[in-house]
Amino acid sequence: MGTVLHDSVLGEGPDVVLLHGLFGQGGNLGSIARGLQEAYRVHSPDLPDHGHSLWSDSPSISGYVEAVADWMLERHIPRAHFVGHSLGGKIAMGLALAHPALVDCLVVIDIAPVAYSPSHDDVLAGLAAVTAAQCRSRAEADAVLKAHIPEAGVRQFLLMSLMRTGQNNLMDWRLNREGLTRCYPRLLEALEENTPFDGESLLIRGADSGYVKDDDMAVVERMFPHSNLLTLAGASHWVHADKPTELNEALLSFLS
């Protein structure tokens, strides 16, 4: 796997790195990037196996952490604020624990450093079904996905990673579907209990999401002793989509 991640940059100022979630790409957190660009230089990389970045043989949180660290070195970013959603938040936490010198302030959106039970079987099945169906349009792919994923918003999120490939002009996934499916359990693992991160951190969770439970906070506080918790009412796991204004206000307040 190459070390350079595909990325985009908005704004000027102190560096902020946004890390997206599983099956996503850097552009998914565009509302956050636009909200921060007046005061910060905001980087939105595609994680390995996602978007336009290269694929890895064995996707894992630790591998993604090292890929982000290598990307910072190659982009000459000595230190940055990090904002990560879902899997991206777990990677940001892993980076803060493994390479604390690279992380200034840390913001984690709706994920904890604990192990999670499998919850994406329907998504993985839908991705495989689209590949097998050899769809010729986005509409055909959406119809195939609908048999596995009834939520239109989730389907539209996934379809952002669909592209036209090959000489037959068929639709297939830009993300590493087979690798992510094979190594999916590794992406659910808890972070290793390393030396606690000494920097400031903020955990933002959606009140209507079950991803960060009250029982998880003991682990969070042990690994990130200078952490604060913010629960946004009316927000699901997709905090940036449900409460973009409130989220960006919280980010600007914390990072400043």
- Which one from 20, 43, 148, 237 is the annotated catalytic residue? 237
Write down the catalytic residue from 44, 53, 56, 86.
86
pLDDT in the model for residue 165: 86
Q: Where are the beta strands (DSSP E) in 135-200?
A: 162-165, 170-173
Please, are residues 57 and 179 in contact by the beta-carbon 8 Å criterion? yes
Q: Which residues pair with 230 in a beta bridge?
A: 204
| Percent of the residues in the chain that have a pLDDT greater than 70, as a whole number | 98
Q: What three-state secondary structure class fits 229?
A: strand
pLDDT of residue 65: 97
pTM of the model as a whole:
0.96
pLDDT digits (tens, 9 = 90+) for 241-255: 999 999 999 999 999
Q: Is the pLDDT of residue 1 over 80?
A: no
Tell me if residue 38 is catalytic. no
Query: Is 8 one of the catalytic residues?
Result: no
Distance CA 192, CA 98 (A): 9
CATH of domain 7-117+189-255: 3.40.50.1820
Q: What is the dihedral of CA 60, 61, 64, 66, to 10 degrees?
A: -110
Q: Given a cut of 60, is residue 188 above it in pLDDT?
A: yes
- Does an H or E element contain 80, and which? strand 80-85
Task: Clarify whether 237 is annotated catalytic.
Answer: yes
pLDDT tens digits for range 46-95: 999 999 999 999 999 999 999 999 999 999 999 999 999 999 999 999 99
Contact indicator for 56, 72 with CB cutoff of 8 Å: no
CATH 3.40.50.1820 range(s) for the chain read: 7-117+189-255
